[in-house]
Amino acid sequence: MATLPVADWQPPPLHPLPHPVATRQGVELYTLRLDLVHPHLQGNKWYKLRPNLAAAEAQGHRTLLTFGGAFSNHLYSTAAAGSLLGWRTVGLVRGEPTQPLNPVLTFAQACGMELHYLSRGQYRHKTEPGFLAEIAQTYGPAYLLPEGGSNALAVTGCAQMLAELPPELSFDYYACALGTGCTLAGLLLAVAARRQAKAQVLGFPVLKGGGFLAAETTRLLAEHAQVRGFPTPPLPAWQLLVNYHFGGYAKVPPALAQWVTEFNHWAVAHGPAPACVLEPVYTGKLFYGVLDLIGEGGIAPGSRVLVLHTGGVYANASVQY
Ligand SMILES: Cc1ncc(COP(=O)(O)O)c(C=O)c1O
């Protein structure tokens, strides 16, 4: 395994989240604080990157090249990984350069990431072999991470997200946010490994029309099975709740902004420490959705619900809300 800074790694704490909505409905709500596993390389990104870094090292690479939007948590985390390992990182950013750099790109650059910009037209070709060959010519040999860091190895990494939970702990529901479906694919494998036949997994797409992510999740699971060389095990029941996108990816209408602000005030004043602070792009929509479902009586009293805090809170410095 690539010599990631494991000295600074800590297992994700499990925190009860006695939010008034859950308490009123008699639902036991918990959050797994993946955001706390490492100071700079946290959330689902730690899990996605770890096996990829090991593969890069095994293939003799010391350069990571990847893609993302200007507010990408993945660019941020890849830059952090490069800096921690002493590897070169190249970030190909969608869209025109803007000055001053936003906090995500400022951090990436401070980590030593070389930032280059692709027009939206060019960016659309980012998975095509011809385009990738040109990229390799331009930037030299590199281990290629797809947008969002989502590939079969990342699914393997995300399947470890529950590994530190005592095996006897069980939940009726597990919930996570979806951008590409990779984290959900890993969570499904993680829940399957815990053999809790009645557990259900709920996925909350943060983009509009997120129903297509069911097929994406299934595709990533199949790719993972192929790479690992054994079939996907029987999975728990799962569904996507597609109505919590608030208008689309990174859209933050006033109602969501206000809800996240109020939740964060509650978390600081009444929640466990360190405070379970959310951002509005991923975790805000997820926690809103889970609490809305609970408030509407969609989850039976007495149920135990585990919500994954997948990190990205540094986005609060970039996203206006
Ligand atoms: C903080 C955060 N949570 C959840 C997700 C969703 O992950 P995935 O793209 O694997 O669906 C992302 C995006 O990668 C993210 O940055």
Question: What mean pLDDT comes out for the span 295-318?
Answer: 91
Q: What is the pLDDT of residue 3?
A: 65
pTM above 0.85, yes or no: yes
Q: How far apart are the C-alpha atoms of 84 and 66, rounded to whole Å?
A: 17
Question: What mean pLDDT comes out for the span 209-224?
Answer: 98
Closest CA to 74 of 100, 55, 46, 53: 46
- Distance between Cα 187 and ligand 1 center (Å): 12
- Distance between Cα 47 and ligand 1 center (Å): 11
- Distance between Cα 63 and ligand 1 center (Å): 23
Q: How far apart are the C-alpha atoms of 237 and 197, rounded to whole Å?
A: 9
Q: Name the residue of 35, 156, 176, 180 to mutate for ligand 1: max ligand atoms within 8 A of Cβ.
A: 180
Domain 44-149: assigned CATH number:
3.40.50.1100
Q: How far apart are the C-alpha atoms of 91 and 78, rounded to whole Å?
A: 9
H helices of 17-165, in order, are: 20-24, 44-58, 73-85, 103-110, 120-123, 129-139, 152-158
Residue 135 pLDDT > 70, yes or no?
Answer: yes
Q: What is the pLDDT of residue 162?
A: 98
Which part of the chain has CATH 3.40.50.1100? 6-39+157-317, 44-149
* Token representation of residue 97: 């350069």
Distance set, CA 265 to CA 19, 32, 117, 268 (Å): 12, 19, 37, 5
Residue 40 pLDDT > 90, yes or no?
Answer: no
Nearest ligand 1 atom to alpha carbon 48: 10
Nearest ligand 1 atom to alpha carbon 73: 16
pLDDT digits (tens, 9 = 90+) for 246-262: 999 989 999 999 999 99
Residue 218 pLDDT > 80, yes or no?
Answer: yes
Query: Which neighbouring-strand residues pair with 174?
Result: 201, 306
Nearest ligand 1 atom to alpha carbon 148: 14
Pocket of ligand 1 (CB under 6 A): 43-44, 73-74, 148, 150, 177-183, 282, 310-312
Q: Hey, is 100 helix, strand or coil?
A: coil
Question: What mean pLDDT comes out for the span 23-38?
Answer: 97
- Contact between 176 and 183 under an 8 Å Cβ cutoff? The reply is yes
Closest CA to 87 of 135, 123, 126, 49: 49
What is the DSSP pairing of strand 304-309 with strand 173-178?
parallel
Distance set, CA 73 to CA 33, 159, 184, 261 (Å): 16, 19, 17, 20
Q: How far apart are the C-alpha atoms of 178 and 45, rounded to whole Å?
A: 13
- Distance between Cα 137 and ligand 1 center (Å): 30
Is residue 243 within a helix (H) or strand (E), and if so which, with residue range?
none
Q: Which CATH architecture is the domain 6-39+157-317 placed in?
A: 3-Layer(aba) Sandwich (3.40)
pLDDT digits (tens, 9 = 90+) for 2-30: 666 677 899 999 999 999 999 999 999 99
pLDDT digits (tens, 9 = 90+) for 153-203: 999 999 999 999 999 999 999 999 999 999 999 999 999 999 988 999 999
Nearest ligand 1 atom to alpha carbon 72: 16
Residues counted in the chain: 321
Q: What is the pLDDT of residue 92?
A: 98
Question: What mean pLDDT comes out for the span 306-310?
Answer: 98
Give residue 262's Cα distance to chain centre: 23
- Rounded to the nearest integer, the mean pLDDT of the chain is 95
* Token representation of residue 2: 């690539």
Residue 95 pLDDT > 90, yes or no?
Answer: yes
